[in-house]
Structure 1
Amino acid sequence: MTDPNSGNGRGFSPQRPDPVNNPSGPPGRPAPRFSSRLGWIVGGVVVAGLIVAQSITVVPAGFVGVVFSALSGVKPDPLQEGLHFVVPFVDKVTLYDARLQEVTLAHDTNKQDEGSIRARSKEGLDITADVTVQFRIDRSKAAILHKELGRNYLNTVLRPQLRSKVRDSIGQFGAADLISNQRTQLEASITTELEKAFSRNNLILDAILLRELKIPESVAKAIEQKQTAEQQVAVERNRLQQAEISAQRDVVQAEGKAKAAIETAKGEAEALSLRGRALKENPQLIQLTVAERLAPGIQTVMLPSDSNFLLDLKSFGTQTLPKVEQTPAQSGN
């Protein structure tokens, strides 16, 4: 018969712990118990960690934070970049991207609501415009933006305003002007109108970029032919102006030559007048002129009867006054 208390039997020894009937181990040792104080400490640490995590907010670079309080609503002063402390479980921070952003409305976009802007020109022609707008939110008014528009301001304000202002501005120009020389004026008109709309909604417009303007192909060909004809007319007009300038130049030259001839004639007449006066005052000059006109072989000249003396042409080379030879009739006197 096996002793139930012996260690060789199949029973349990009173010195060994019985995991079912005697879980506390051998007698004389207290059973281990979980301390309530330790539980409170661990719980307090967890709660404190949650409170600290809820009270610290980091605003990343380029963003601005808007605080909504469950007690007072949206706070007017937004949180700028950096570390901030808020009331845990009461304040909720919403981040807004304050960096430069852009929205493109073009035919190659995947989103259906961001296709090209269809408008009509001043004469009623269809114009398709691909536009990119660059903007940013007003940091100082981010709280008002959050309160009035929310985070969906792109769909509620920006895109509708962009489409409306582009259509209105295109309607003020003709199709030919838009694709030729008034593209800059169109951009300026859209910019002016969008700045007003964005300012009312606490947005700042940076730039409007007209990527492409399209008109119907038939209209484009007609405009091109018209411009070609105008260029040809301009070329012909330029040639005509050049011909007129050349003719005017010839007239001026002819007038100049005529005036020069008149002045030359006046000078010659005055010279003849002066010469005649000199001959009248100096009769010897007449004799000298006659002698100069004669052939160089003639040495002596007979003057008219009223001048009863001879001229020796050889004497003109050495004397300033002519040498007079007296005739026998003169010597008798």
Structure 2
Amino acid sequence: MEINNVTKMTPKSGGVKMIITIIVALLAGLLIFQSVTIIQAGHRGVVLQLGAVQPQVFDEGLHFKIPFAQTVIPMEVRVQKSESSQTSASRDLQTVATTIAVNHHLDANNVNKLYQEVGMDYTARIVDPAIAEALKAVTAQYTAEELISKRPEVSTKVKELLKEKLSAYHILLDEINIREFKFSEEFDRSIEAKQIAEQQALKSKLDLERIKIEKEQEITKAQAQAEALRLQKQEVTPELIQLRQIEAQLEAIRRWDGKLPNVTGGAMPFINVDKQ
């Protein structure tokens, strides 16, 4: 009877062992799974140990962590783009609607501090308000016309101020691009009228300069002609007159065809060769 009882209990014992083995294997697998983490490219891992942020930051790749005690929060450190439209006032109290695009990225070595101080919603909490504040502070220093004519200078000042504000929260500014300044319709019409007036004034000025130059040219030309006549009068001598007469007679002889004219009374094309 005792032998039969032992034989009957053996299958149950084997089943229990199998269940225990499966449970142990599952626990071991879970333990291994909880002991490793993989950080993807362009990210860093913020380590939380029982809810507390740790000073260690995981780089890209495979890392080991304390199972069940540590949690890793991935944070992207690649360049991100924030684009928004902000309304502000210029120095001459014109309403300015500005469309701006901002490229920024997280400081890879301090993502744990950003997570601890701000959290994951840093764009809405930090980036967007900083953009609005920087734009309002800079546009208030310029008139509406200066915002257009000094756009590169305005962009540089916005970039410097925004860089300072974001760096305080471990966010690094890469570049900004002010896409558009938009003003009220009344201001646009006044700018257009002013440009037309300036163009007309410039045209009138150029016309006056052209007339002045043409007048000066005419005066210079007349003076040159008068001077030429004066010099010619000074150079006329009896010898020059006699030379011109001889040249005229020689030209008449050259053109004479050898026939005497039918009607006389004019000067004959002959040179008085006897006169020495």
Q: Same fold (TM over 0.5)?
A: yes
Q: How much has 1:37 moved relative to structure 2?
A: 4.2
- Answering whether residue 102 of structure 2 is matched by residue 124 of structure 1, we say no
SS in structure 2 opposite 1:57? strand
Matched, 1:95 2:74: yes
Q: Does 1:30 align with 2:8?
A: yes
Residue equivalent to 2:173? 205
Distance 2:197 2:66 in 1: 75
Task: Tell me the C-alpha RMSD between the 2 structures.
Answer: 3.2
Question: In the alignment, which residue of structure 1 is the partner of 2:144?
Answer: 175
The question of whether the paired residues in 2 share the 8 Å contact of 1:135 and 1:204 is answered with yes
Counterpart of 2:41? 61
Q: Tell me the distance in 1 between the aligned counterparts of 2:35 and 2:117.
A: 26
> For the residues of structure 1 that align with 2:207 and 2:54, how far apart are their CA atoms?
74
Structure 1 residues 266-298: Cα deviation after superposition (integer angstroms, max 9, x where no partner): 5x16xx39x59xxxxxxxx99x98xx8x94489
Q: Which residue of 2 aligns with 1:218?
A: 186
Q: Which amino acid aligns with 2:41?
A: A
Structure-to-structure mapping, 1:223-262, within 5 angstroms? 223-262=191-230
How many residues are aligned here? 251
Which position in structure 1 is the counterpart of 2:112? 143
Q: Tell me the SS of whatever aligns to 2:99.
A: strand
Q: Aligned AA for 2:22?
A: V
Tell me if structure 2 keeps the 8 A contact 1:68–1:75. no
Q: CA deviation at 1:53?
A: 0.8
Rounded to whole Å, the distance in 2 between the matches of 1:160 and 1:315 is 116
Q: CA deviation at 1:34?
A: 3.4
The runs of 5 or more residues in structure 1 that have no matched partner are 1-25, 107-116, 277-284, 300-312, 317-321, 323-333
Q: Which of 79, 82, 85 is equivalent to 2:58?
A: 79
Q: Which runs of 5+ in 2 are unaligned?
A: 250-265
Q: Does the aligned pair in 1 maintain the 2:90–2:141 contact within 8 Å?
A: yes
Who is 1:302 aligned against?
none
Q: CA deviation at 1:161?
A: 0.8
Match of 1:41 in 2: 21
Contact 1:132-1:211 at 8 Å conserved across structures: yes
2:53 and 2:112 in contact (8 A); partners too: no
Is the CA contact (8 Å cut-off) linking 2:91 and 2:140 kept in structure 1?
yes
Indicate the percent of aligned positions where both proteins have the same amino acid: 23
With the length of structure 2 as denominator, give the TM-score of the two structures.
Answer: 0.77
Bigger Cα Rg: 1
Q: CA separation in 1, counterparts of 2:152 and 2:167?
A: 22
8 Å Cα contact 1:69/1:75 also seen in 2? no
